[in-house]
Structure 1
Amino acid sequence: MWLEAISWERLTDARADRIGKLTAADGGPWLRVAIDGAPTAHPEGLAARLADVLRIRGRSVQTVGTGGFLRPASLRYEFGPEDPDAYYDQWLDTGALWREVFNPLEADGSGRILPDLWDRPASRSDRSSAIQLASTSSATSSGCTQGASGKIRGLERRLTELMERHFPQLLTRVGIGPDSAATLLITMGDNPERLCSEASFAALCGVSPVEYSSGPQRHHRLNRGGERRANAALYRIVQTRLRFDARTRNYYERRTAEGKTRREIIRCLKRYAAREVFNLVRPGIGPHEAT
């Protein structure tokens, strides 16, 4: 067996030398390079170093991280009734990655790619603009699809354990999973001075109606303020209950018969969900150990 001591710099230079001699297999103008590895290997760091070295050598490079193409939990839940493993197995939106990055870089492609599709920390669509690559550019895709899935599953198990240990009463209710429970608890913990009542918590989450009455007529409009991540967590709870909770479906049918729209009914259900969560985790009591 032949072993060679290597550093990040030597590894980067060696890969750059090899890439400098490569051409696209399909004969197109854009060379595509994928860098994969376990999370502990930090493939995104190697991709960034490699891109810097190639740019110094006069080659145009665009890096695309797989983290920008991860599906949010709310979208993975949509496949739940047909595929129970979708929540764990469909983290990476491979269809979007091919559509926005790899297909445009085919031999007959346009060369116009979208570097990221989803802002995971903000849990919203990214606002990045499409990029037109030069005909001599290289596109490096960094990520760890299997490694990232394993790491994410480990974090989810850890989060579930923490919720079951400190706030088990939340997980006993239909539609409240570890992710949504943690999001709502973080919102409470970040704003303890604002939680005077369940109504204040609803306002904090942006699910309390705002009155704009005039004279004898009383009207309410949608509250567009509040913590949007907590609002999204309540929305996921309501959507799950509409599918799997008979009491929620009965309420939905009754309010529909009264002439309410789907949006109005969902707003009411989000308000009820906020009240339920607040009463389960009342400020001042704090977390407790499960018995």
Structure 2
Amino acid sequence: MPTALFVTCLNDTLYPGTGQAAVTLLRRLGVAVDFPQQQSCCGQMHYNTGYRKETAKLARHFVEVFGEYDEIVVPSASCGGLPSEAYESAAEAAGDAGLLRDVREIAPRVHELTQYLTDTLGVEDVGAHFPHRVTYHPTCHSLRAMGLGDRPYRLLRAVGGIDFVELPAQEECCGFGGTFSVKNGAVSGAMNGDKARHVLETGAHVLAAVDNSCLMNIGGRLTKDGHAVRTMHLVEILARTEADGPLAGVPVAQNGALR
């Protein structure tokens, strides 16, 4: 049975390159990847806004689409964590005992991408080459909910040619938080401003993370303020090889210096 890719609706609609990079990387590592066409939203927006019963409908759809797969890989910590974080309470709110049983069975088979690479496949050096100065933002879900720990860092440090620099105050939230940024615009904006400032302090030309939602938030602030830092999902870095050549428009790092 192939491994299923749950690409998430944000990536599918706004960042398709992330899904393409995930397929490229997994196939390079010898993984047979399937992309179920019927997949849809995981229900995170509904759940976080309090619509538990509505989330149950999307949980049921998730089970119907992915239930036959032994492994489901997600290039997102926030969406990847939802089946284990929310589907049980959504099923309970809907009074659906069958769904509760099904989500308990499928949740352990859902893996965030860096977990899958390091824990399931047992690899850190994925054969990537990315000769640029990069910093990494550990998103709240990856840091606090899924407990990814140093997995993304180990993968990044193993990339050939990379000039990796630590992000100051990296554990601080970027202020996105889905609807939080809408309901608490002033607070969110201040948090995002701090995060953007810390990114600039690193001198990095690329900011990586495992959630495009947070990258969208931080990248929007950087662009608005006139800074040319590029945001990239971690898998887009891991998918690149020396044959791809340098990234257009981004300075090349060599021996810890830029040229």
TM-score by length of 2: 0.24
Query: RCO (CA 8 Å, sep 6+): is it higher in 1 or 2?
Result: 2
Larger Rg: 1
